[in-house]
Amino acid sequence: MATVNPQHPLPEAMASPPEPIELTIVSHSTIFYWWPVWVAGYVLAALTYTQGRTVEFGDAHVLMHPSRLPGVVFTTIFLLVIVITHLTVRGIGSLTVIITLIAVALLMAWMEWWDDVLRLMGSLAIFMNLGFYVFFSSSVFLVWLLAVFVFDRVKVWKFRPGQMVFETAFGTGEQTYDAHGMSVNKLRDDLFRHWILGLGSGDLHVATTGARKEEFVIPNVLFVGSKVQRIQQLTAMRPDDPSDLREAVPGVLPPQ
What is the per-residue pLDDT for 93? 60
For the chain, list the domains and their CATH numbers: 20-29+155-247 (2.30.29.30), 31-149 (no CATH)
Count of CA atoms in the C-beta half-sphere (13 A) of 164:
27
| Of residues 87, 73, 7, the one with CA closest to residue 40 | 73
- Give CA angle at 155 (248, 82), nearest 5°: 110
- pLDDT < 50 positions in the chain: 1-2, 4, 10, 12-19, 246, 248-256
What is the per-residue pLDDT for 151? 92
What is the per-residue pLDDT for 5? 52
Q: Would strands 23-26 and 60-64 be described as parallel, antiparallel, or unpaired?
A: unpaired
| Of residues 32, 42, 220, 39, the one with CA closest to residue 144 | 32
Amino acid at 71: G
Q: How far apart are CA 22 and CA 149, in angstroms?
A: 20
What is the per-residue pLDDT for 61? 86
Q: 196 with 59: CB under 8 angstroms?
A: no
What is the per-residue pLDDT for 13? 43
DSSP classification of residue 80 = H
How far does Cα 205 stand from its chain's mean position?
16
Note the pTM of the prediction, 2 decimals: 0.72
What is the per-residue pLDDT for 229? 84
